[in-house]
């Protein structure tokens, strides 16, 4: 016999829909949160991961000797994540952490520059000159790119697993969501088979068709015959569209072979 309370719980469960079978997958919550914002879901997840890394670094690990060594080897971050570090520091009152890190990097870079210049002056061959200049180049990749790449890989894989009946799959098929071209490529590379690839393609097609439609509408409204129509979603699409092609800065370049 079913009590009133059980009936209420069952009704609430029906309203919520079936439980998402992907809920225990690595990166599930991160992707669901990333899907609260418009844009490529994988870009958003990777960007959040890079921000989290930078935020934790500036607040907790600036004086950690291991972390400092690692950061010296990469000369801090890539261009996109240096800009993001400045942004995160400004938002989170992390200026002191940045000051400590960059005083250290510049002091070491100065020593490396003197050494490189000395070696370069004495270097007889092109190969030796190259080796001398390597002292001024990063030895390893940007650590924020690594955090972003991990999140991107998880996100792209989850999108390929999330059918439209799942909570994640429904969220990925909302207006303004989708997957950019570099993250589609990443997801297709990761996809376990044709079904996974097709799920990812569904999300890609929806997103890209919506942006392409907005671009056409933007162009149409520029015609003087339609100039009196009120602006809509298409008004700022020219700002959004480029990132669907290349991915958000700092989220899509890691792991791509050098040109
Ligand atoms: Zn993306
Ligand atoms: Zn980076």
Nearest ligand for residue 250 CA: 2
What's the pLDDT score for residue 37?
A: 94
Using DSSP, state whether 228 is helix, strand or coil: coil
Report how far ligand 1's centroid is from the alpha carbon of 180 (Å). 4
Structure tokens at 85: 């570090």
Report how far ligand 1's centroid is from the alpha carbon of 169 (Å). 16
Report how far ligand 1's centroid is from the alpha carbon of 161 (Å). 17
Whether 166 contacts 30, CB under 8 Å = no
CA distance to 1, 20, 160, per residue, from 7 (Å): 10, 21, 35
pTM, two decimal places:
0.85
What's the pLDDT score for residue 86?
A: 97
SS3 of 151-182: the string is: HHHHHHHHHHHCCCCCHHHHHHCCCCEECCHH
Query: Along the 259 residues of the chain, how does pLDDT read in single tens digits?
Result: 445 555 665 565 555 555 677 888 888 999 999 999 999 999 999 999 999 999 999 989 989 999 999 999 999 999 999 999 999 999 988 899 999 999 999 999 999 999 999 988 887 788 888 888 888 888 899 999 999 999 999 999 999 999 999 999 999 999 999 999 999 999 999 888 999 999 999 999 999 999 999 999 999 998 888 888 888 888 899 999 999 999 999 998 644 443 3
Nearest ligand for residue 54 CA: 2
What's the pLDDT score for residue 257?
A: 42
Structure tokens at 213: 């439609």
Element (H, E) at 40: strand 39-40
Report how far ligand 1's centroid is from the alpha carbon of 43 (Å). 4
Give me the helix-helix angle, 126-134 and 95-122, nearest 10°. 160
Nearest ligand for residue 187 CA: 1
Report how far ligand 1's centroid is from the alpha carbon of 138 (Å). 26
Nearest ligand for residue 141 CA: 2
DSSP assigned state of 25: S
- Residue 197 CB-half CA count within 13 A: 7
Q: What is the pLDDT of residues 156-194, one digit of tens each?
A: 999 999 999 999 999 999 999 999 999 999 999 988 899
Say which residues have a Cβ less than 8 Å from residue 201's Cβ, sequence separation at least 6: 184
Report how far ligand 2's centroid is from the alpha carbon of 229 (Å). 42
């Amino acid at each position: 016999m079913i009590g009133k309370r059980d009936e209420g719980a069952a009704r609430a469960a029906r309203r919520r829909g079936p439980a998402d079978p992907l809920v225990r997958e690595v990166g599930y919550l991160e992707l669901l949160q990333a899907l609260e914002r418009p844009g490529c879901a994988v870009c958003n997840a990777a960007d959040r991961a890079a921000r989290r890394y930078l935020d934790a670094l500036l607040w907790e690990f600036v004086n950690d000797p291991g972390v400092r060594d690692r950061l010296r080897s990469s000369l801090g971050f890539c261009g996109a994540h240096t800009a993001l570090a400045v942004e995160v520091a400004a938002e989170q009152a992390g200026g002191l952490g940045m000051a400590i890190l960059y005083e250290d990097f510049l002091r070491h870079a100065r020593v490396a520059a003197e050494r490189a210049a000395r070696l370069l002056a004495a270097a007889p061959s092109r190969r030796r000159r190259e080796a001398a200049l390597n002292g001024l180049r990063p030895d390893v990749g940007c650590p924020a790119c690594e955090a972003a790449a991990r999140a991107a890989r998880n996100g792209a894989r989850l999108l390929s697993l999330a059918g439209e009946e799942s909570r994640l799959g429904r969220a990925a098929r909302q207006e303004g969501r989708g997957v950019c071209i570099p993250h589609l490529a990443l997801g297709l590379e990761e996809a376990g088979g044709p079904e996974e690839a097709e799920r990812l393609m569904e999300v890609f097609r929806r997103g890209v068709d919506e942006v392409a439609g907005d671009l056409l509408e933007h162009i149409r409204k520029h015609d003087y015959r339609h100039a009196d129509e009120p602006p809509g979603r298409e008004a700022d699409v020219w700002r959004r569209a480029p990132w669907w092609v290349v991915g958000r800065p700092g989220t899509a370049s890691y792991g791509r072979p050098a040109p």
